[in-house]
Structure 1
Amino acid sequence: MQESSHRLLNIARILQFGDSVLPVGAFTFSCGVESAISCGIVYDRQTLKQYVCTALLQAAKCDAVAQIQTLRACRSNRLNDLISIDKDVISRKLSPESRVMTQRMGKKLTELSTAIYHDPVFNWWLEQIRQGTVIGTYPVSHGLLMSHLDLDEDAMLAMHFYGVAMTILSAAQRLMRITHLDSQKILAEVTSLFPDYAEMALNTRPEEMSSFSPVIDILAAVHVDAHVRLFMN
């Protein structure tokens, strides 16, 4: 395949699997911003942007690291390493809702991958999930798909960070007084920070992977007992 054709195909794949309406259930989660808004922590464009940046920092130190390790393990034909990476991810999710989120989205993405591509590796991973051998966390399932699509680490991380930002912004659009123009302005501002978050993820060793973010973790705990909830978390 010519280089230009390969590049065009990669762009098309990034658009497809980076789409905020990809049917993996992301729309049912808010990454804690629902509680942040109800508690008055997020109340305008600036505080929403700060919350998005906090979530991206958390992603860069945990899920993005797992994605990188998954991609590298796949390309070195070390598929059994995915089982330990998956366990590392779920062990770092402090709140029950964050564990549910990564589990459900990971399984949905694997089911989607299995339906689209006839690659035995997806059938193997889905079977591991169904047997309970693994949780099937979203970053590991996503890294597995990116390996199949032959996308590089930069593209994979850009898709992941975009997904985190859009999940929060889409939820906020339904929860607070903020215009679509405000949301797009925030998105434009935070995407300029993606290279910094990617560098952080690339320089974080697997044993240093951590999802610790006190504000988000506390808000997730508050959300569990909320009387009115539009989102899962």
Structure 2
Amino acid sequence: MSIDGNLLTLSQWLSPAFPVGAFTYSHGLEAAIEAGWVHDVVSLQNWLETVLDQGSGRSDAIWIRSAMSDDANLSDLDTLARAYLPAAERLREAERQGAAFVKTVNAVWYTSFPDLLLPLAVGAAAQRQRMDGDAVVALYLNAFIGNLVSAAQRLMPLGQTPAQQVVSAMTPLCLRLTVATRGASPDDLWSNAFLSDIAAMKHETLQPRLFQS
């Protein structure tokens, strides 16, 4: 039996145990719950579907694909990705997690990546390891959703079984986005998740709060 070691490495990078501090960010979900926009399993699933299909999830997938291109200019991509972020907390979330990811990857895998926003950092490291792009995007999106569902469990009545049902329900969409973003570039970026962006902005002044975003 042949086992792909890269799959184990990718699972390690995207594990909740990897020290990027993902558990401290809700990606605006805390503000959405505070506002009553997300209040039960159905509204949570609808929110996550929109974020994934029409907002940050799709955009992150495209940034990963772009960073995995053989002729990627990481500095230019990072500058452009920063310009596309709609709120200060979104920038800080991607910036701090990316820096933490790069710090650990550089130390453990003896690379020398500069600080990058998280999806670009993951894509650049995956390209260095010659990982399969589809696997990287699919597992990244799954981890992204898993982190938001974990945040929701700390913010609203949501048991373990319903939480895992929501994550499972997102699997087909993660796979569809993986296929849809093959060959995509920054020219293909757009976002229609306006309420998610507003939640990110509202969270900047939310008090009290549990999460950094």
TM-score bin (small chain) = over 0.9
Q: Residue 31 of structure 2 contacts residue 199 of structure 2 at CA under 8 Å; is this kept in 1?
A: yes
Q: Does 1:109 align with 2:106?
A: no
Distance 1:24 1:90 in 2: 18
Distance in 1 between the 2:193 and 2:184 partners? Answer: 16
Tell me which stretches of 4 or more aligned residues in structure 1 moved more than 3 Å.
none
- Report the TM-score when normalising by structure 1: 0.85
Query: Which residue does 2:166 correspond to in 1?
Result: 186
Q: 1:62 aligns with which of 38, 52, 59?
A: 59
In the alignment, the residues of structure 2 paired with residue 34 and residue 113 of structure 1 have an alpha-carbon distance, to the nearest angstrom, of 29
What secondary structure, in the 3-state scheme, does the structure 2 residue paired with 1:107 have?
A: helix
Deviation of 1:186 after TM superposition, in Å, equals: 0.6
Is the 1:109–1:141 Cα contact (8 Å) retained in structure 2? Answer: yes
Is the alpha carbon distance of 1:211 and 1:106 closer, same or farther for their aligned partners in structure 2, counting shifts above 3 Å? farther
Q: Secondary structure in 2 aligned to 1:21? A: coil
RMSD: 1.6
Rounded Cα–Cα distance in structure 2 between residues aligned with 1:68 and 1:168: 22
- 2:180 equivalent in structure 1: 200
Establish whether residue 215 from structure 1 lines up as the match of residue 195 from structure 2.
Answer: yes
Secondary structure in structure 1 of the residue aligned to 2:128: helix
Find the counterpart in structure 2 of residue 118 from structure 1.
110
Q: For the Cα contact (< 8 Å) 1:32–1:219, is it kept in 2?
A: yes
Between the aligned partners of 1:213 and 1:103, the Cα distance in structure 2 is: 21
Q: Is the 8 A contact 1:95 1:217 kept in 2?
A: yes
The answer on whether the counterparts of 1:36 and 1:42 sit within 8 Å (CA) in structure 2 is yes
Q: Paired residue for 2:2?
A: 4
Secondary structure of the structure 2 residue equivalent to 1:202:
coil
Query: Aligned partners of 1:87 and 1:209: how far apart in 2?
Result: 15
**Residue type of the partner of 2:210?**
L
Counterpart-to-counterpart distance in 2, 1:203 and 1:148: 18
Match of 1:149 in 2: 129
What is the identity, as a one-letter code, of the residue corresponding to 2:153?
A: Q
CA apart distance, 1:21: 2.6
Secondary structure of 1:231's partner?
coil
Q: How does 1:135-174 map to 2 (within 5 A)?
A: 136-174=116-154
Cα distance in structure 1, aligned partners of 2:49 and 2:181: 14
8 A Cα contact 2:65 2:183, kept in partner = no
Aligned partners of 1:92, 1:171: CA distance in 2, in Å? 24
Between 95-104 and 151-160, report the one with greater CA deviation.
151-160
Where do 1:18-29 residues align within 5 Å?
A: 18-29=14-25
The answer to whether 1:32 aligns with 2:28 is yes
1:43 to 22, 36, 39: 39
Using the alignment, how far apart are the partners of 1:150 and 1:221 within structure 2? 37
CA distance in 1, matches of 2:173, 2:118: 22
**SS state at 2:6 partner:** helix
- Residue segments in structure 1 that go unaligned for 5+ positions in a row: 130-135
Structure 1 residue 232 and structure 2 residue 212: aligned?
Answer: yes
Counterpart-to-counterpart distance in 2, 1:38 and 1:198: 31
1:133 maps to none
3-state SS, counterpart of residue 4 of structure 1: coil
Distance 2:29 2:196 in 1: 8
- Which of 9, 27, 33 in structure 2 is aligned with 1:13? 9
**Does residue 97 of structure 1 match 2:89?**
yes
Query: Do the aligned residues in 1 keep the contact of 2:99 with 2:118 (CA within 8 Å)?
Result: yes
1:84 alignment counterpart:
76
Distance change in 2, residues 1:60/1:30 (3 Å) = closer
Between the two proteins, the alignment pairs up a number of residues equal to 212
